[in-house]
Amino acid sequence: MQVRFELNGATVAVDVSPDRRVVDLLREDLGLTGTKEGCGTGECGACTILVNGETRLSCLMVAAQIDGCRVMTVEGLAATADGALLQQAFVEEGAVQCGFCIPGMEMAALVLLRHEAAPDRECIRQGLAGNLCRCTGYTKIVDAVERAARDTRASREPQ
């Protein structure tokens, strides 16, 4: 079937088997390898993407489900003001170790900060509860999200 959807702001149309997993469609058919597959069973969050502004696990979705939807992957983060600040905060705080979980972490954190501008650390941990970091670098990841929240709030204050 032809699946048409908005991907990181651009319209795409791909001929694909309707039961193709979205993570495979993104990585193999469209070459967007930022989205990672960790467990493939919905337990690690590495494949987290946004569909219509909500987090979804791309390993547990089939192509037909994103037809007509607005999809954002980690490749689209830098083009958004809050996404760019979030990525910079991960760099500044040294939150990235092996990096495999980071695309999923950042997508989950982006949605968290869009709903909660000033989350405390417990709230951040709950927002990232579906994302595993096997380097166990959680402390600096939470630091980075805290910093991103501060930076995003500061960027919105009238100059």
Nearest to 104 by CA among 78, 75, 131: 131
Residue 54 has phi, psi (to 5 degrees) of: -115, 150
Q: Which two tokens stand for residue 45?
A: 């969050």
Q: Is residue 35 within the footprint of other proteins (CB under 8 A)?
A: no
Residue among 122 and 157 whose Cβ is closer to other proteins: 122
Residue among 7, 26, 61, 71 that touches other proteins (CB under 8 A): 61
Burial of 31 (0-12, 13-18, 19+ CB in 10 A): exposed
Q: Is residue 108 within the footprint of other proteins (CB under 8 A)?
A: yes
Residues 6+ apart with CB under 8 A from 91: none
Using the contact rule CB under 8 A, the part of the chain among 81-89, 116-124, 128-136, 137-145 near other proteins is: 128-136
- By CB under 8 A, name the binding residues for other proteins: 1, 17-19, 21, 40-43, 45, 48, 54-57, 59-65, 67, 108, 111-112, 126-127, 129-131
